[in-house]
Amino acid sequence: MFKYLKQLTSLVAMVAVLFAFTTESMAAKKSKTLKNTQKKGFVRCGVSQGLPGFSNADAAGNWTGVDVDVCRAVAAAVLGDANKVKFTPLSAKERFTALTSGEIDILSRNTTWTLSRDADIGLTFVGVNFYDGQGFMVRKSSGITSTSQFKNGISACTNIGTTTELNMRDFFNSRGISYEPVAFEKADEVVAAYDAGRCDTYTTDKSGLAAQRTKMKNPDEHIVLPETISKEPLGPVVRQGDSVWEDIVRWSLNTMIEAEEYGITSANADSMKTSDNPQIKRLVGAEGEMGAAFGLDNEWNLRIIKQVGNYGESYKRNIADTGILPDRGPNELWTKGGILYVPPSR
């Protein structure tokens, strides 16, 4: 009988695994993600493998960036501490699978909102935290100052698994230019290959170009061409099927943008509680029941503003002061000539 002991043990193990999985999938209830997050004590957030200004880790492993701040805002709202976030660096190729398979709960990784991504693959985009567009970078010495100078046979380095690959084809095709696409899996390798001279141009979102430029051997030798060839609204993404979680992430982002609109900053948030403006009071949890629908307390938005700051503070800290894109361009409030416009918190 001992002969079969080994088979028997493995069989028992298999059956045990089977039951473990069954009970987990049966526990699916309405806001499973919120419940799990509160139980774990941290927000699971998918970010890039290092894009200065958006999501980048320093030598000590501290993540900073505007994409990172969205996850921190959610952590401040649901857990009360903006630092309770576990960041998972993901390649462009891995990101959606990581989200749909449940490895992360928010994907905040300079991801373009498109119809097919929103509708096809089990994802929901909750908003836009950066309005971007695809551009080209070339070496200054090449003398190219506009995409109209591109000629047949040009080679272009980029990332795989991005909208960039598709836009690039549309762009070159519509101009009848033959080109050589060289697509890498990781951004660092794209930069290394372009920097070495493998490609004549490097194409990705303009914010990405500006950020990666800071990583080059000699940033001054490269320029970003003025043309923008596509619309790239970047924003956080959640899994389809948990609308409460989706709302929490959406309104965490909206709170940051609206706080800037009403002049609420991390420094003055507490004093705003006594403001005369009811809209401001709602944004700092001093009026109405703004958290109940999410299953949160009333000061969830106050914590976001106090711990992470409003959108303007986040932009200044991560993108403007680091010299990546000092000019806010379209990412300015609608009241100041930009296109940042969010529905009201009321």
Partner 1 sequence: MNFKLKDIGPQLMTVIAVVLVFGFFTYNAQVNMENRGIDFGYGFLSQESSFDVQFSLIEYDGSHSYFRAYLVGLLNTILVSVIGIILATILGVIVGIARLSPNYLINKFAAFYVEFFRNIPLLLQIFFWYFAALRALPLPQDAEPMFGVSFLTIKGLFVPAFIWQNFNIFFYSILAAIIAIIVIRIHAKKLQETQGKQTPVLLISIGLILILPLLSFLIGGVRLSFEVPVLKQLATTSFIYEGGVSLPPELIALALSLSLYTATFIAECVRAGIQGVGKGQKEAAASIGLTPNQVLKLVVMPQALRIIIPPTTNQYLNLTKNSSLAAAIAYPDLVLVFAGTALMQTGKAIEIVSITMFTYLSLSISISLLMNWYNKKIAITEK
Question: Which residues contribute to the site for partner 1 (CB under 8 A)?
Answer: 4, 7-8, 11, 14-15, 17-18, 21-22, 25, 28, 92-93, 96-97, 100, 116-117, 120-122, 138-139, 141-144, 149-151, 153-155, 157, 160-162, 165-166, 168-169, 173, 179-186, 189, 192-193, 196-198, 200, 239-241
Minimal distance in Å, beta carbon 45 to partner 1?
A: 19
Minimal distance in Å, beta carbon 78 to partner 1?
A: 21
In the complex with partner 1, the residue whose CB is nearer, 111 or 331, is 111
Residues 269 and 305: their CA atoms lie apart, in Å, by 7
Residues 136 and 164: their CA atoms lie apart, in Å, by 11
In the complex with partner 1, the residue whose CB is nearer, 8 or 292, is 8
In the complex with partner 1, the residue whose CB is nearer, 83 or 101, is 101
Q: How far is CA 72 from CA 86, 177, 309, in A?
A: 10, 44, 10
Minimal distance in Å, beta carbon 197 to partner 1?
A: 5
Let me know: does 126 contact 255? Beta carbons within 8 Å: no
C-alpha dihedral over 78, 107, 327, 280, to 10 degrees?
Answer: -20
Closest listed residue to residue 40, CA positions, set 116, 105, 119, 88: 105
Residues 51 and 102: their CA atoms lie apart, in Å, by 23
Minimal distance in Å, beta carbon 8 to partner 1?
A: 8
Minimal distance in Å, beta carbon 135 to partner 1?
A: 17
**Beta-bridge partners for 87:** 45
Burial 49-60 (b: 16+ CB within 10 A, else e): bbbbbbbbbeee
Minimal distance in Å, beta carbon 278 to partner 1?
A: 39
In the complex with partner 1, the residue whose CB is nearer, 241 or 344, is 241
Minimal distance in Å, beta carbon 196 to partner 1?
A: 4
In the complex with partner 1, the residue whose CB is nearer, 122 or 226, is 122
Q: Is 241 left (phi over 0), alpha (psi -120 to 50) or beta?
A: left
What phi and psi values does residue 162 have, to the nearest 5 degrees?
A: -125, 165
Residues 73 and 307: their CA atoms lie apart, in Å, by 8
User: Could you write out the DSSP letters of every residue in 298-310?
Assistant: TTHHHHHHHHT--
Minimal distance in Å, beta carbon 35 to partner 1?
A: 16
Minimal distance in Å, beta carbon 198 to partner 1?
A: 6
Tokens 């009360």 found at: 80
In the complex with partner 1, the residue whose CB is nearer, 32 or 316, is 32
User: Could you write out the DSSP letters of every residue in 229-288?
Assistant: -S-EEE--EEETT-HHHHHHHHHHHHHHHHHHHTT--TTTTGGGGG-S-HHHHHHTTSSS
